[in-house]
Chain A
Amino acid sequence: MTARWRAAALVLPLLIYTVVTFLVPLTTMLVRSFYDPVVAEVLPGVLAALDDWNGSGDPPEPAWEAAATDLRAAAEAGTVGRVASRVGRVDPDLRTVLPGTAFALAEGGLRPARGQTWHDVMVSVDSAWASPDTWRGIKEGGRRFTSRHYLNAVDLTRGPDGSVAARPEDRRIYLPLFWRTLQVSLAVTLLCLVLGYPVAHLIAHASPRKRGILLALVLVPFWTSLLARTTSWIVLLQNQGVINDLLVATGLVADDGRLALVYNMAGTLIAMAHVLLPFMVLSLYSVMNSISPQYMRAAASLGARPWHAFRKVYWPQSLPGVGAGCLMVFILAIGYYITPALVGGSSGQLISNMVAYHMQQSLNWGLAAALGVLMLGGVMLLYVLYDRLTGGRVGIR
């Protein structure tokens, strides 16, 4: 057995484990963003009959009978609800039209009387069938492969003629949310850099004894349960909380003018900076630790003023740490879910919370997946950058 194979054999169990328990689940979920066979499987006849239909005027005659057959079968198999919820996202009217028609057909056992066609039967059950919109909705909703969720995720809509247009400004949901997520992540990253840089510098150039204590002060929040920390921020920041009480007691704020610090964007920013600051400090520290103080002494002895020496000598050497720390914090901030969900209120929600909303409440899994793909794509791009920057040594802890 060569060394090559021996090494691979050691890695293989974990690789298989990761693929099965993580990568495959992730991929199958992300595939939902463009692939959904449910409607096509439940209404195969209608969709086949609508294949050549161009979307205007009455659909061809076989489509009517196929629709009746498929819908009756769907009602009997109990699958009509799943189809209605999917097609209903294309055309909300269909959410009620499809189940209504399906159950009427199944229960009434309706058939065309003498001299009638399926066309007449369908229209008599629900007049919506006389409108080409209904059929267009089925045709569009029945596509196995669709770009609908991606268009939706960036606030674009496709008109009946297939043209793509931006949603009116007041009806955009996701672009503003992406923008807000980026802004918050950037703000938190900068905040962490400003707060973390002097601290990391202090730790890196402290005496070994002091260094241990100061590092522990950074590591305590790092190891403390995220939920425990979030709880304490709520307790501190809420209206009747410790900080507001303190401000009122010292007379800085009137009792009726208590600050709204939590359940809004301020709460999200403060709590996120608290959670992510240790990552920044540790990234910076690991680089600053190896910057010899002799460079600064040399600069000073050559007559450089402290600020000038810092800017020309120390800062450039600490840049790899700045880059790694900022990327790490930014990556983690983009995907933040728990903190905004608990302390963000309605104004402090980020894109992750929207993914959760579509997963758990609206059950629009395709859209959740599309938002997830966009988010994950951004994160992976930054991760590759981080990997390059740190030379593949991931090890900030």
Chain B
Amino acid sequence: MSAVGRGTRVQAGFCTLVFVFLIAPILVIVPLSFNAEPYFTFTEGMLRLDPEAWSLRWYREVAGSEDWKRGLANSALVGICATAIATVLGTLAAIGLSNPAMPARRFVTGLLISPMVTPVIITAAGMYFFYTAAGLSRTHLGLILAHAVLGMPFVIITVTAALTGYDRNLTRAASGLGAGPVHGFLRVQLPLIAPGVMSGALFAFATSFDEVVVVLFMGGPAQKTVPREMWSGIREQISPAILAVATFLILLAGLLLLTVAWLRRRSVQASRGWRGGESRG
């Protein structure tokens, strides 16, 4: 008994340290972004909780900067358009792929997932030549097309997962009741797999919103996104303004995480609801 108890206590202690390793670096940046001085460490004033040592200086700097504003606009535009493409095409493909009748199913799935595991530097280098030849480098359209293909595997994964809980008889029932394929999809299947589709879309958006290597290779000065600005900020003139942006990105991550968790709970409830309906019927 005591050996077991000691074992669990050692494990709990070890795990606490690992969780600190995971979370602390993210949390520490938040208070540092309120530093009144251009330093990257806690000043004595900050530690004494002297109000003079804390300020919104770097937030004001970011809010007043044309570069960051343009970056945010570009990130939002590219992210939203890329997500739309990835979600629509990815959802349709996932429905096809989860049909056992799909020919060469495993091979095609592997092919469609491959952008996720290909080292991004190779992807970016390949895209650079091809998109330049097609006149698409240094355009927003080029970035959108590239980011869509990078985000699409996540849509496939989440929608495929959502479809494993979907009862195909429902589609048959809908068509038996006279619904056309499109109508049946929109009114029966889509609402049930919607949480999976939304999670996939959020993953795709997060992928695009955080992508920097393809932007480095393909984007011109007019296509600088938030990560691209951060990249040059880190490499060239690291200023605490970056900490303010990082804090914003951390908040965004928290928001995305909460939304996905909420969607997951909804999808569990949805599938439970149907199973419950079956047993009642």
B105 to chain A, nearest CB (A): 8
Given A221-B23, A376-B122, A397-B157; A232-B246 close (CB under 8 Å): yes
Interface flag for B182 (CB, 8 Å)? no
The answer to whether A335 touches B29 (Cβ under 8 A) is: no
The answer, among B22, B114, B161, B210, for a CB contact under 8 Å with A217, is: B22
Q: Mark B148-159, 1 if CB is under 8 A from A, else 0.
A: 110011100110
Interface flag for A39 (CB, 8 Å)? no
The answer, among A7, A195, A232, A245, for a CB contact under 8 Å with B101, is: A7
The answer to whether A216 touches B257 (Cβ under 8 A) is: yes
The answer to whether A201 touches B11 (Cβ under 8 A) is: yes
Interface flag for B220 (CB, 8 Å)? no
Interface flag for B7 (CB, 8 Å)? yes
The answer to whether B11 touches A224 (Cβ under 8 A) is: no
Interfacial chain B residues near A4, Cβ < 8 Å: 101-103
The answer to whether A221 touches B246 (Cβ under 8 A) is: no
Given A21-B148, A195-B18, A392-B109; A227-B230 close (CB under 8 Å): yes
Complex: how many Å from CA A30 to CA B130? 11
Interface flag for B56 (CB, 8 Å)? no
The answer, among A12, A223, A369, for a CB contact under 8 Å with B253, is: A223
Residue of B29, B113, B242 contacting most chain A CB atoms (<10 Å): B29
Interfacial chain B residues near A369, Cβ < 8 Å: 125
Question: Restricting to A215-248, which residues have a CB under 8 Å from any CB of B?
Answer: 216-221, 223-236, 238, 240-242, 245
Complex: how many Å from CA A201 to CA B213? 35
Interface flag for B131 (CB, 8 Å)? yes
Interface flag for A338 (CB, 8 Å)? yes
A394 to chain B, nearest CB (A): 5
The answer to whether B210 touches A226 (Cβ under 8 A) is: yes
Complex: how many Å from CA A218 to CA B257? 11
Interfacial chain A residues near B21, Cβ < 8 Å: 195, 274, 277
A29 to chain B, nearest CB (A): 4
The answer to whether A337 touches B118 (Cβ under 8 A) is: no
The answer, among B4, B11, B130, B227, for a CB contact under 8 Å with A29, is: B130
Q: Mark A168-198, 1 if CB is under 8 A from B, else 0.
A: 0000000000000000000000000001101
Question: Restricting to A1-54, which residues have a CB under 8 Å from any CB of B?
Answer: 2-4, 6-15, 17-18, 21-30, 32
The answer to whether B29 touches A3 (Cβ under 8 A) is: no
Interfacial chain A residues near B249, Cβ < 8 Å: 224-225, 227-228
Q: Mark B59-73, 1 if CB is under 8 A from A, else 0.
A: 000000000000000
Complex: how many Å from CA A397 to CA B106? 19
A182 to chain B, nearest CB (A): 14
Q: Mark A113-127, 1 if CB is under 8 A from B, else 0.
A: 000000000000000
Given A10-B95, A236-B25, A392-B106; A245-B41 close (CB under 8 Å): yes
The answer to whether B96 touches A21 (Cβ under 8 A) is: no
The answer to whether B22 touches A29 (Cβ under 8 A) is: no
Complex: how many Å from CA A352 to CA B269? 44
A348 to chain B, nearest CB (A): 14
Beta-carbon nearest neighbor of B203 in chain A:
A397
The answer to whether A224 touches B253 (Cβ under 8 A) is: yes
The answer to whether B119 touches A235 (Cβ under 8 A) is: no
Interface flag for A299 (CB, 8 Å)? no
Interface flag for B49 (CB, 8 Å)? no
The total of Cβ contacts below 8 Å across the A-B interface reads 274
The answer to whether A335 touches B121 (Cβ under 8 A) is: yes
* Interface residues of A, dominant DSSP: helix
The answer to whether B126 touches A25 (Cβ under 8 A) is: yes
Q: Mark B102-118, 1 if CB is under 8 A from A, else 0.
A: 11001011111111111
Question: Restricting to B1-39, which residues have a CB under 8 Å from any CB of A?
Answer: 3-4, 7, 11-12, 14-15, 18-19, 21-23, 25-26, 28-29, 32, 39
The answer, among B3, B19, B250, for a CB contact under 8 Å with A305, is: B3
Given A21-B146, A216-B257; A26-B118 close (CB under 8 Å): yes
The answer to whether B125 touches A368 (Cβ under 8 A) is: yes
Interface flag for B223 (CB, 8 Å)? no
Interface flag for B93 (CB, 8 Å)? yes
Q: For this complex, into which size category does the number of interface residues on chain A fall?
A: 35 or more
The answer to whether B26 touches A221 (Cβ under 8 A) is: yes
A57 to chain B, nearest CB (A): 40
Interface flag for B268 (CB, 8 Å)? no
Complex: how many Å from CA A2 to CA B154? 28
Interface flag for B45 (CB, 8 Å)? no
The answer to whether A397 touches B125 (Cβ under 8 A) is: no
The answer to whether A372 touches B89 (Cβ under 8 A) is: no
The answer to whether B125 touches A232 (Cβ under 8 A) is: no
B63 to chain A, nearest CB (A): 18
Interfacial chain A residues near B110, Cβ < 8 Å: 383, 387, 392
The answer, among B32, B93, B160, for a CB contact under 8 Å with A14, is: B93
Complex: how many Å from CA A360 to CA B218? 11
Interface flag for A141 (CB, 8 Å)? no
A201 to chain B, nearest CB (A): 7
Complex: how many Å from CA A257 to CA B131? 50
The answer to whether A355 touches B243 (Cβ under 8 A) is: no
Interface flag for A266 (CB, 8 Å)? no
Interfacial chain A residues near B112, Cβ < 8 Å: 11, 14-15, 18
Q: A26-B123, A199-B15, A342-B235 are in contact. List 10 more A-B contacts (CB 8 A).
A: A8-B102, A10-B96, A14-B93, A201-B11, A220-B26, A227-B249, A342-B234, A352-B119, A372-B121, A392-B109
A sample of 18 cross-chain residue pairs with beta-carbon separation below 8 angstroms, ordered by A number, consists of A2-B101, A8-B103, A11-B102, A11-B108, A12-B96, A13-B93, A15-B112, A27-B126, A202-B12, A220-B253, A233-B25, A241-B40, A306-B4, A365-B129, A372-B122, A375-B119, A392-B110, A394-B109
In the A-B complex, list the 8 residue pairs whose CB atoms are closest, starting with the nearest: A335-B119, A10-B96, A25-B130, A29-B126, A228-B246, A14-B93, A7-B99, A11-B96
